[in-house]
């Protein structure tokens, strides 16, 4: 396929449209037995026209799985300790430090030292546990907002909210909403709900191992 040399030049110039040649049609065009009509065509998702492209897409997704190539090595660093006071964790990579920091130090309540998996959950916690104005309001109106992203519903108590989250949002019924232990330095648990923890300790007592 031989493209005119001017084509590339046209691409690098500014936008523009051709002044269309005059359109003159006669009724005999496309009249029976002929039937051509110029029309735009739409293809739905499952149309076989898309087969080749879809196959390429999925080969690409799977290539990533089966074709192994050397990925760029991340720099190795000498072991180093966590800088947060009271934490004695040691790391051998920046990634594990980053993960540790986000999991345990990034969204921590400065008052009771509980750690939260996100800034939003920490904000809810600060409001619900350490804001006296909230407590006053909560006696009169629904103040416990649903913790699911995008849901604006509010409830009278955190228990009612939990029931809503289990019923409406299909949160696991064993999603733990009890009060986690306080500690100095490193938070003892990660809190998912309002002051709630989904700590590993909870499963320990169940003795599920034979």
**Residues of span 8-37 touching another protein by CB under 8 A:** 8, 10-13, 15-26, 28-30, 33-36
User: Measured between alpha carbons, how far is residue 73 from residues 69, 70, 98 in Å?
Assistant: 12, 8, 17
- In the complex with Zn ion, which residue's Cβ is closer, 54 or 108? 108
Residue where the block lists tokens 């750690």: 115
> Which among another protein, Zn ion, none contacts residue 182 (Cβ within 5 to 8 A by kind)?
none
Give the whole-angstrom CA distance, residue 197 versus residue 206: 17
> Which among another protein, Zn ion, none contacts residue 84 (Cβ within 5 to 8 A by kind)?
Zn ion
Residue 191 in contact with Zn ion, rule: CB under 5 A:
no
**Residues of span 134-153 touching Zn ion by CB under 5 A:** 146, 148, 151, 153
C-alpha Rg value of the chain to the nearest Å: 31
Output the DSSP codes for 176-187.
Answer: --SPPPP-SSS-
> Which among Zn ion, another protein, none contacts residue 88 (Cβ within 5 to 8 A by kind)?
none
Long-range contacts of 87-95 (CB under 8 A, 24+ apart): 87/185, 87/186, 89/186
Three-state DSSP at 114 gives: coil
**Residues of span 82-141 touching Zn ion by CB under 5 A:** 82, 84, 87, 89, 109, 111-112
> Which among another protein, Zn ion, none contacts residue 111 (Cβ within 5 to 8 A by kind)?
Zn ion
Q: Smallest distance from the beta carbon of 68 to another protein, in angstroms?
A: 5
Give the whole-angstrom CA distance, residue 155 versus residue 161: 6
Residue 194 in contact with another protein, rule: CB under 8 A:
no
- Site for another protein (CB under 8 A): how many residues? 109
Give the whole-angstrom CA distance, residue 210 versus residue 163: 32
Output the DSSP codes for 39-91.
Answer: ------TT-GGGHHHHHHHHHHHHHHHH---PPPPPPP---EE--STT---EE
> Which among another protein, Zn ion, none contacts residue 10 (Cβ within 5 to 8 A by kind)?
another protein
- In the complex with another protein, which residue's Cβ is closer, 130 or 169? 169
Q: Smallest distance from the beta carbon of 45 to Zn ion, in angstroms?
A: 31
What are the residues binding Zn ion (CB under 5 A)? 82, 84, 87, 89, 109, 111-112, 146, 148, 151, 153
């Amino acid at each position: 396929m031989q493209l005119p040399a001017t084509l590339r030049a046209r691409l690098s110039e500014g936008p523009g449209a051709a002044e269309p040649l005059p359109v003159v049609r006669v009724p005999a065009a496309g009249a029976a037995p002929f039937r051509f009509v110029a029309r735009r065509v739409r293809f739905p998702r499952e149309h076989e026209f898309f087969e080749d492209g879809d196959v390429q897409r999925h080969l690409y997704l799977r290539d990533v799985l089966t074709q192994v190539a050397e990925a760029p090595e991340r720099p190795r660093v000498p072991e180093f300790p966590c800088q947060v006071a009271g934490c004695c964790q040691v790391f051998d990579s920046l990634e594990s430090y980053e993960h540790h920091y986000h999991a345990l130090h990034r969204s921590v309540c400065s008052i009771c030292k509980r750690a939260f998996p996100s800034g939003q959950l920490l904000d809810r916690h600060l409001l619900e546990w350490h804001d006296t104005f909230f407590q006053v309001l909560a006696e009169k109106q629904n103040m416990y907002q649903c913790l699911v992203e995008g849901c604006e519903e509010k409830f009278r108590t955190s228990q009612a909210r939990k029931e809503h989250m289990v019923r409406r949002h299909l949160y696991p019924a064993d999603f733990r909403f009890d009060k986690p232990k306080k500690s100095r330095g490193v938070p003892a648990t990660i809190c998912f709900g309002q002051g709630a923890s989904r700590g590993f300790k909870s499963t320990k007592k169940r003795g599920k191992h034979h």
